[in-house]
Structure 1
Amino acid sequence: MNKILLAGATGYLGSFILNQLLEKGFETRVVVRNENKLPKPVIANNKLEIVKAEITNPASIAKCCKDIDVVISTVGITRQKDGLTYMDVDYQANLNLLEEAKRNCVKKFIYVSILNGDKLTHLKICQAKERFVAALKNAGLDYCIVRPTGYFSDMNELYQMAKKGRVMLFGNGENKMNPIHGSDLAEVCINAIDAGDAAISAGGPQVFTYKQIAETAFLATGKKVKITYIPNWVRKTILFLLRTFTNSRFYGPVEFFMTVLSMDLVAPKYGTFTLKAYFEELNNESLHH
């Protein structure tokens, strides 16, 4: 059985991948900055080896790929506040890991990017990810690029708005997307270990318009549906102002969110988890806190 190195194990997707790797009996090594972010039962698993290191610092990850067959990386900035840019993390940190993988003769490298990322390189986050994808394709080892539509966790913003009583959507809300649950996407990533695909696009089992996603969020919160549609010129103006007056750490995630909400992101359907159940779970959690 292949021995796996997982980078990004404490993130939304990474934590699901880690659980499933251990459940399936893979010997797994994780590179983490802070092992306390790993759940206690996971830390106790005898198939798990923890390497404490900063992937942004090449010296600290020396030999992390020794005796490893397959690397899976979900490393990227979501909301880190360390003063690091997308190029530092999504590109350079993954490149550091790739160089280690090459030095240690790793057979395969699985990387999670974004659906249509190659067409969205005008966005800071996609520019960095796709620069790494290009490096990976030229690295000379087997690879697979997993391209999800968007995670259920990305839909939290819409749920939070619904909870407050009003959701803002750009355009007419008719653009479509099939977001995917972390657990379902983790399965796609793990299946890629033995599959021969160089690229896999993956979405969840249901395709929604953004209007329907908002309505599903309202249904879960029990609030009356109130949606405000913001014309596209307003979105473009906001983006222009953000790009002009704030730094990329601040506007990067906003820029991505606002751009994605104005386009279709539909990929082949995987998994069984529904958005309705996910929103209901969020609602139950918030009621108990």
Structure 2
Amino acid sequence: MLQKSSMKLLIVGATGTLGIQVARRALDEGHQVRCLVRNPKKPASSKLKEWGAELVQGNLCDARTLPAALEGVEGVIDVATARATDSLSIKEVDWEGKVNLIQATKAAGVNRYIFFSIHNAEKFPNVPLMEIKHCTELFLAESGLNYTILRPCGFMQGLISQYAVPILDQQGVWITGESTPIAYMDTQDVALFAIRALEVPQTEKKTFPIMGTRSWKAEDIIQLCERLSGKDAKISRVPLGLLRFLRSLTRFFQWTYNISDRLAFAEVLATGQPLDAPMDDVYQTFGLDPNQTTTLESYLQDYFSRILKKLKELDYDKKKDQKKSKKTPFKTNFDGSLK
């Protein structure tokens, strides 16, 4: 079933939350890894180089930079996506850039292509990122490349800034009026599926959902964080109408287009329909053990135990410093002169 052999891979989007885990997993599995990066001097790029990856400077949106990056490559793992604060739009990166990459991959004679989409992308044509992901899936399927499409729906890492940190800091936690259950997965586990796809012929020219062990509503995650942190959350609900207004407002300015397109994702969350899918057949196809997949409970337990331990250590050090500062650094004689 497995075709275990070292490959020379080009990973695009390797400096992102998921991409860096994909690169690390590929290196750990013994693959030769080349990463297409816009800025080789960024901390994430330096980390990749430190791990043993080869860095090639380039840009999806500049097709002229791609042939050199693809030279000698046997497989491409595409994890790139536009960020909300990016100077390039979602359309430029996630559509025009991906078309450039797929065409350049085919022209270079590289056959294997792993693409990350989003679960249920075809069901939300009015949400820019979802529509573009679905269109890219169709374009890839018609390209003639030997592809595998992986469709996660949410990463556990994003829950830290969304829920864990605000609760610890006693700041407000913002959630939408309608809470959609989402089957979040640890990016390390998602990365495992990406690398395993290269080794399993049964994954070729197919699309797979990549889901966590169960789906979670926002309220359930908040309750779990409260229990693990020992703190109460300050919850604020944002009406969907307000998010729609903010989306229309941010469309007025070119530099906020990405923010507007991300706000459109609220439409996905407003359906109340679980972002989940059966995974038994997927695990069987990939030859992976579902019992080895990280649960959200264990992920957050590990996070809070580490952060609370660190906070205790910092408080101990602070108290120790306070005690030292109370001691007189020099002893004096009765006349006030130093001993």
Question: Taking structure 1 as the reference length, what is the TM-score of the superposition?
Answer: 0.87
Confirm or deny: 8 A CA contact 1:210 1:261 kept in the other structure.
Answer: no
1:139 — aligned with what? 143
1:278 — aligned with what? 299
The residue identity in structure 1 corresponding to 2:192 is E
2:258 — aligned with what? 249
2:287 — aligned with what? none
1:151 — aligned with what? 155
Q: Flag the structure with larger Rg.
A: 2
The percentage of counterpart residues that share the same residue type is: 22
Deviations 1:7-38 (A, max 9, x none): 01110001101111111100111101122333
Confirm or deny: 8 A CA contact 2:124 2:130 kept in the other structure.
Answer: yes
**Of 195, 209, 215, which aligns to 2:217?**
209
Confirm or deny: 8 A CA contact 1:63 1:100 kept in the other structure.
Answer: no
Report how far residue 281 of structure 1 moved: 4.9
Structure 2 CA distance for aligned equivalents of residues 258 and 160 of structure 1: 25
Deviations 1:190-211 (A, max 9, x none): 1111333211101112332332
**Of 23, 31, 39, which aligns to 1:18?**
23
> Alignment partner of 1:219: what SS?
helix
The residue identity in structure 1 corresponding to 2:227 is L
Confirm or deny: 8 A CA contact 1:148 1:267 kept in the other structure.
Answer: no
Does residue 114 (structure 1) correspond to residue 118 (structure 2)? The answer is yes
Question: Taking structure 2 as the reference length, what is the TM-score of the superposition?
Answer: 0.75
Structure 1 CA distance for aligned equivalents of residues 243 and 234 of structure 2: 24
Confirm or deny: 8 A CA contact 1:165 1:224 kept in the other structure.
Answer: no
Structure 1 CA distance for aligned equivalents of residues 47 and 235 of structure 2: 42
1:35 — aligned with what? 40
Give the aligned CA root-mean-square deviation in angstroms.
Answer: 2.5
Q: Residues 58 and 285 (structure 1 numbering): CA distance in 2 closer, same or farther, change over 3 Å?
A: farther
Structure 2 CA distance for aligned equivalents of residues 226 and 243 of structure 1: 25
Structure 2 CA distance for aligned equivalents of residues 62 and 39 of structure 1: 20
Deviations 1:159-185 (A, max 9, x none): 344333554433464x32210010000
Structure 1 CA distance for aligned equivalents of residues 100 and 27 of structure 2: 25
> Alignment partner of 2:125: what SS?
coil
> Alignment partner of 1:180: what SS?
coil
After superposition, where does 1:72-221 map in structure 2 within 5 Å?
Answer: 72-82=77-87, 84-155=88-159, 156-163=161-168, 164=170, 166-171=172-177, 173=179, 175-195=180-200, 196-197=202-203, 198-221=206-229
Q: Residues 129 and 141 (structure 1 numbering): CA distance in 2 closer, same or farther, change over 3 Å?
A: same
Confirm or deny: 8 A CA contact 1:242 1:251 kept in the other structure.
Answer: yes
Gaps of 5+ in 1: none
Structure 2 CA distance for aligned equivalents of residues 79 and 285 of structure 1: 27
> Alignment partner of 2:209: what SS?
strand
Deviations 1:81-123 (A, max 9, x none): 31x2111011111111111101111111111011111112211
Deviations 1:136-176 (A, max 9, x none): 11101111110002011232313344333554433464x32
